[in-house]
Structure 1
């Protein structure tokens, strides 16, 4: 059999494509990762062509057998990638023609690379939504473990990087759990917009063949078919949405990383990271650096950049398909790889984190962190909050001038600011009392953190069951 060297669109052209142009327009160096989805789409399309009489049973059998051989050749590493064949679609079609000749040329009936690639990417994004989702669940489980272990371990809560109020470490872990829960929900909500089949839309206007789009959608386990052929091949909203969701997830991971980087610094020393997730310095022998967390923080910029990338690619394209869209895949693939690696790296860091409980608790006692509890105490004595705020502010200023903590002041000192202050004030000025007074739903009291942990476990159990 003669080697098939023609390009699928070569009939219109009399001259050869410049070698540089072949390399410049080729996408096989990155879209080869779509091979499995491209083959899935070709299987479904071929079965549909058989169902409407375009392919007979013998031809279908030959095509399906050949597609399986191509898949095995790719997975064995024996496929030779060529810029002259442009992309994964043409490589697979070329291999089919080499294997079964003219029968393979029928497979593109009623199909354009426009709806073909749109189908491939939707299948790919659909799988990656699940992969990211499952990676987040693993991370959430680790956060639950830490929350349980340190549910009563007190650490300062901050605003403006100043000590604000005492909280528990378990409380913070639960805050991060529920941030990730929103991330998970965004991915899952987008799934229904991804899981719609564009196959059969053709180049932009549909097909004159009586294609059964619902059948191919069912074979590929899509929820249905797209409503408009022009929109089907032009739409990359689902990629934008995936990268946007990923940007929010990376923002959260970056914030977690920043907190831990600060906490494990020499000046804070609230937490220790095991040696296995740290690196050293080439010149300073004493250094133990949280490089994994710093890289997560840095890689957040990569994902943000891909969001700007895809939005810019899409912003001024005339309908329908344009070659600009070839660049959607590097943006998407980079985002997927970065996000999954970052979630996994974050999880490894959490698994190797230890809270220095005494240091954290002592830090929570500083900075007059129970001042708000003092004000709440006065409110319970029927003093309006704004007046209570002023009384406490003056008391703190006095304590600062004397270089004393609030619980080191005498009753005489307290009485000089309000006659309503009694000996029981000292029950409200210790960090344990402060933490346990926060009994409102979602608060940092020991009991409320237990409730949050129970809810978190229930959420994970429901996901795993479904």
Structure 2
């Protein structure tokens, strides 16, 4: 409203005295909201009319000019975008901190070997650091998506009116700059109904949730007794109300579960948007709650996951014990290729060797030279 009052003054709609009175009144109202002293009355239809009523009490008749050329449609769309522009840096920072936790644990675990898995079957040896950083890079892509979203959100709807623009000579480029937007919206009809930025944010949030869920699922598995690779600290695990020995990875299970809720928020908003005609419709009151909920969820989960990972104990001995010689079968095939054997022939030969060793109940290195020559 302060920026709009300035635009009206530059357009000659407000006199200097009127602009001064309105600006002072708006600043006083902002202070009342900040201090928790703003009072609503029964006749207030919504937050907009409440502010306008209070402005009239403070600034007099000039307050009636503030809404000139402006609609709640373009005002709400602007407010929503402003909120998201403020939320995005906080979410980016939370993602960066989780990345930092992954890097910290990776640096602490250099040289620690573990089995790598495909289809949840042991495949090839890898380092724990490599596994940890495999969860770093999806978060990096998430941050890049949010950075791209910022540019698409920083398009100003204010000045588009209810749907057909404003009849007054508003400098919308200057208005955009005053509010921290990159540019004014190019089409007024689209601007008041566009919620692509909200849907895109929910997609980004849902994909972040998926990435956190995959990380959490792996931690749940690897901290179980069947694997024993990790051990969660007491601060980030819980016991059982019945079984004294239990140490449950509740935090990671909850993070895994939140992914489903985030996906649902995206689906819900898309379903709301799919049948709307152009311009503003009251259905769009349903756009804010899922965005607020998604942001609150991620900002609550991300810092706790980072702290839990950094406090997690690593058991290199159990990881090393899970690496049996068959995990080097691919390396053996590659060795034969370097000796001039065609890869398909090398692959087949090593596969026969693995079967032979398994049939005899011996490790792969225990096969004799005669065995290898017979296979070749």
TM interval, shorter chain, is over 0.9
User: Which residue in the other structure is 2:354 paired with?
Assistant: 396
Q: 1:399 to 1:86 in 2, by over 3 A?
A: farther
Q: List alignment gaps of at least 5 residues for structure 2.
A: none
Q: Distance in 1 between matches of 2:85 and 2:42?
A: 28
- For residue 206 of structure 2, the aligned residue among 240, 243, 247 is 247
Structure 2 distance, partners of 1:154, 1:82, is: 66
**1:378 alignment partner, one of 325, 336, 353:** 336
- TM-score under structure 1 normalisation? 0.78
1:233 corresponds to which residue? 192
User: Does 1:173 pair with 2:132?
Assistant: yes
Matched, 1:160 2:119: yes
Say yes or no: does 1:73 pair with 2:32.
Answer: yes
**TM-fit CA distance, 1:80:** 4.4
Identify the match of residue 168 of structure 2 among 209, 213, 231. Answer: 209
Does residue 193 (structure 1) correspond to residue 152 (structure 2)? The answer is: yes
Deviation of 1:54 after TM superposition, in Å, equals: 1.5
CA contact (8 A) 1:166 1:365 kept: no
Alpha-carbon distance between aligned partners in 2 of 1:357 and 1:369, rounded to the nearest angstrom:
17
Across the two proteins, how many residue pairs are aligned to each other? 376
Distance 1:80 1:410, change over 3 A: farther
C-alpha contact (below 8 Å) 1:50/1:56 kept by paired residues:
yes
Mapped to 2, the partners of 1:98 and 1:316 lie a distance apart of 42
C-alpha change, 1:84 and 1:283, in structure 2 (3 Å) is: farther
- Whether 1:150 aligns to 2:109 is yes
- Cα deviation, residue 86, structure 1: 4.3
List per-residue Cα deviations over 1:323-382 (Å, max 9, x = no partner).
00000000111111112222222212212122111101111226x211111111111121
The answer to whether the 8 A contact 2:220-2:252 is kept is yes
Unmatched runs of 5 consecutive residues or more in structure 1: 1-41, 419-466
Note the C-alpha offset of 1:193: 0.9
Question: TM-score, structure 2 length as denominator?
Answer: 0.96
* 2:2 counterpart residue number: 43
Change in CA separation of 1:80 and 1:303 when aligned onto 2, cut-off 3 Å = farther
Superposition CA RMSD, Å:
1.6
Out of 301, 304, 307, the position equivalent to 1:345 is 304
2:262 aligned residue (287, 297, 303): 303
Residue 372 of structure 2 corresponds to residue 414 of structure 1? yes
User: Residue 364 of structure 1: SS of its match in structure 2?
Assistant: coil
Q: What is the Cα deviation at residue 383 of structure 1?
A: 1.4
